[in-house]
Structure 1
Amino acid sequence: MIFWGSSWPSSKIMVEYTSAEVVTFWRFFFAFLASIPLILILKIPLRLNFQIFKLLFLAALLNSVYSILFFVGLDYGSAGKGGVIVTTLTPIFAYILAYMFYNTNSQKTIKTNEILGLGFGIIAGICLLDLQNFQELFLNGFFILCAIDWAVLTLVCQRIKIHPLAINFYMTFLSILLWLPLFLWNNTMMCIFSFDSRFWLMMFMVAALSTAIGTSIYYIGISYIGATKAASFTLLVPVIALGSSYWLLAEIPSFLTLLGGSFAIFATYLINFYQYPHFIFKKKF
C-alpha cells in the first residue's frame, strides 16, 4: 500500500519532466522488465487460450486509456486529490457496474449497508468534485474517468482465469505494443535518458516498486491472509497518497478532499467489507 500510494506524487514529478504519453510508454516498458524476474522466481504459469487473450487485450486497452488519463490528470491536477478520488471511488463504481450488468437475479435486493454505502459514495463524489470551482471540476473529471475505467478493468480481469501476476505481466506487455506506434512516430521518446537521478528514482518507484513488486506482494499476501482481509488494506492507499504528496510535493489537502475521502473510504467499507453480525441461538430443552 505504501508503494501504491506513493506512486501518485512520484508520477506527478515525472510528468514535470516530459509529456504524459512519453512517461506512459516508459512506465509500461520498465514495469514489464521488472515483472520478468518475478515471473521466473515465483514460477508463475503463463499458459493462455484465445478467449483469455481477447480479455487480456481488452484489459490492456483499458489499462492504456487509464494510464494516459492518469498522467494527464496529474500533469494539471493535484496528486494527493487524484489518489483519493481514484482509489476510493473505483470500488464504488465497480459495485454499481457489477450490479447493473452482472446481476441476473431480478429478485435480489440491495442490503442496507450497501444502500448506505452508495449514499455515502454520492456525498463523497460531490465533495471531491468541488462543484463550485469549474477549473477544479474539469481537472477532477480526468480522475473520475480514471476511476470508471479502472472499475471496468477490474470487472474484466475478474473473468480472466489465470494467475493475477500473469494478468499483470501480459497486460503490461500488450500495453507496450499498443503504445509502440507512438514510440516509433514521436522523436522525443528518448529524451528520458537525459534526465537526472530524481526522475529515475520516481520511475523506479512507479514502474518497479508499485506496478511490479507492490502488485506481487499484494497477491502473495492474499494467499496468506485471504482476499477480503488483503483487500481491506487498500483503504490505506488514499491516506498514503495524501501523506506522500505532502512530503514530496508539499501539497496541502483541502477540507473538501479530506471530508470526501473520509466518506468514500467509509462507503467502500460498507459496500465491500461490512458483514452483518451473525447471532447463534442455542435451543434450550
Structure 2
Amino acid sequence: MKTKAFGAYGWLLFTMVLWGSAFPSSKYAVEHVPHEVAALFRFGGGAIVLLLITFFRRPQQTPPLKAVLGACVAGIVGVFGYNALFFWGVTMAPASDGGVIFPALTPVITSLALILGGRESARPVRIIGLAVGVGGAALFFVATTAHGGGGSDRLMGDTIFLVGAAVWSVYTLLNRKLVVGMDPVQAVMYSTVAGSLALAVMAVPKFGSVQWGDLSGGFWVNAVHLAIGPTAIAYLLYVRGIRDLGASTASVMMFAVPLFSTLFSFIFLGESFTWAQGGAALIMLGGAFLAVVSARGAAKPAARKESDGEPAVARGQGSTVAPQVRDAVVTEAEGS
C-alpha cells in the first residue's frame, strides 16, 4: 500500500511538471504563430487525443443530453474563454508570470466566490489566507510595474492573466452545476471539443498570416507536446492521482506548478524574476495554500438528508464518480 501511495505521488508530481512546461511551451508557440492559432493547436490536438481515448475506453453509460450540453457550455467558458485570454496574455508577459498568477489566484478567487455566495464557511484562518493571497498579488503587480521590465506590455499581460484566472474560477463554479451524470473523461472530452471548436472560429481567420513553410520542426514538436503532454497525458495522470490519494491532496499538489513553470521558463526562454517579484510570488502562493488547506471541511452541508444506506452525493447522478472527485478532475485538469 505504501509503495502504491509513493508511486501515486510520483505520478502527480510528474503531472505538475507537465503543467509547468505548458507555460513556456505556450510562450514559444505564440512567438511563431498568432496566439489564436497557438491555442487551437494545443486544445484542438488535445481534443483529438481525448476523442481517441474515449473511443477506446468505450464507456458503458451514455450520458444524458443535459449533461452533454452542460459540459459543452463549461467548455466554452473554461477552454475557449480562459485560453483565449491566456494565449493573448503570454504574447505580452513572460510565461513565468502566468505560471505564478494562475495557480495562485484561481483558488483565491474561487474561494472568495464560494464564501460570498454562502456555499462555504468563512473561517478566520481561511480569510487570512485569502487576504494574504490578494495582498501578494497586489505586490506582484506593483513589483512588475516598478522593476519587472517589459514596461506596460508586461503589466497588460499580467492583467490579462488575472482576468483569465477569474474566468477559470467562473468555469469551476459553473462546472459544479452543469457537468453531472457523466464519466469524468467524457466530461472533459466534450468540454475540450466544444471549446476547441470555438477556438477554431477565432483562429481560422488568422491562418492566412501564418508562414506555414517557415515553421520549424521544433515548433511542431512543441505543438505536439502541448496537445499530448500538458493537455491529455497530464489529465489522465491527475485522474489516477485523485483515485489513489484523493482530490484534496491532488489539488494541493497544484502549488508545485509555479516552481516548474519558472524553472522551465528560465532554462528554455531565459526569463527571470526580480527579487521583489519573487518575494511577492511567495506571499501570493503562501496565502493561496493557506486558503486551500483551511478549506477542507468548510463546505456547508447540503439541505437534503441522505437516505439510509445511500449517500446523497451518488444519488441520481448516473455516475459512479463522487461529485467532489468529478469537480476536481474536470475543473483542474484543463487549467494549465
* Equivalent residues of 1:130, 1:137 under 8 A apart: no
Q: From the superposition, tell whether residues 90 and 275 of structure 1 become closer, same or farther in structure 2 (CA, over 3 Å).
A: closer
- TM-score when scaled to structure 1? 0.87
Task: Report SS of the residue matched to 1:228.
Answer: helix
Task: Provide the C-alpha distance between the structure 2 equivalents of 1:123 and 1:15, rounded to a whole number of angstroms.
Answer: 31
Task: Report SS of the residue matched to 1:65.
Answer: helix
Match of 2:4 in 1: none
Match of 1:140 in 2: 158
State how many pairs are aligned.
272
1:194 to partner: Cα distance: 5.0
1:36 aligns with 2:51: yes
Identity of matched residues, %: 22
Aligned counterpart in structure 2 of residue 244 of structure 1, from 236, 244, 264: 264
Q: From the superposition, tell whether residues 53 and 240 of structure 1 become closer, same or farther in structure 2 (CA, over 3 Å).
A: same
Match of 2:129 in 1: 117
Task: Provide the C-alpha distance between the structure 1 equivalents of 2:271 and 2:203, rounded to a whole number of angstroms.
Answer: 33
Match runs of 1:53-68 below 5 Å: 53-62=68-77, 63-68=79-84
Task: Provide the C-alpha distance between the structure 2 equivalents of 1:192 and 1:4, rounded to a whole number of angstroms.
Answer: 27
Match of 1:87 in 2: 103
1:175 to partner: Cα distance: 1.6
User: Deviations along 1:114-170, whole A, 9 cap, x unmatched?
Assistant: 111012112111122226447143221111011101111112223312333222211
Worse-matched range after superposition: 6-15 or 108-117: 108-117
1:201 aligns with 2:213: no
1:176 to partner: Cα distance: 2.5
Task: Provide the C-alpha distance between the structure 2 equivalents of 1:109 and 1:155, rounded to a whole number of angstroms.
Answer: 16
Match of 1:279 in 2: none
Match runs of 1:159-174 below 5 Å: 159=177, 160-161=179-180, 162-174=182-194
1:179 to partner: Cα distance: 3.1
Unaligned ranges ≥5, structure 1: 277-285
Match of 2:89 in 1: 73
Match runs of 1:9-48 below 5 Å: 9-44=24-59, 47-48=62-63
Q: From the superposition, tell whether residues 10 and 109 of structure 1 become closer, same or farther in structure 2 (CA, over 3 Å).
A: closer
RMSD: 2.3
* Equivalent residues of 1:86, 1:143 under 8 A apart: yes
Match of 1:156 in 2: 174
Q: From the superposition, tell whether residues 256 and 153 of structure 1 become closer, same or farther in structure 2 (CA, over 3 Å).
A: farther
Match of 2:140 in 1: 128
1:47 to partner: Cα distance: 2.9
Worse-matched range after superposition: 216-225 or 136-145: 136-145
Aligned counterpart in structure 2 of residue 7 of structure 1, from 22, 42, 53: 22
1:202 to partner: Cα distance: 1.6
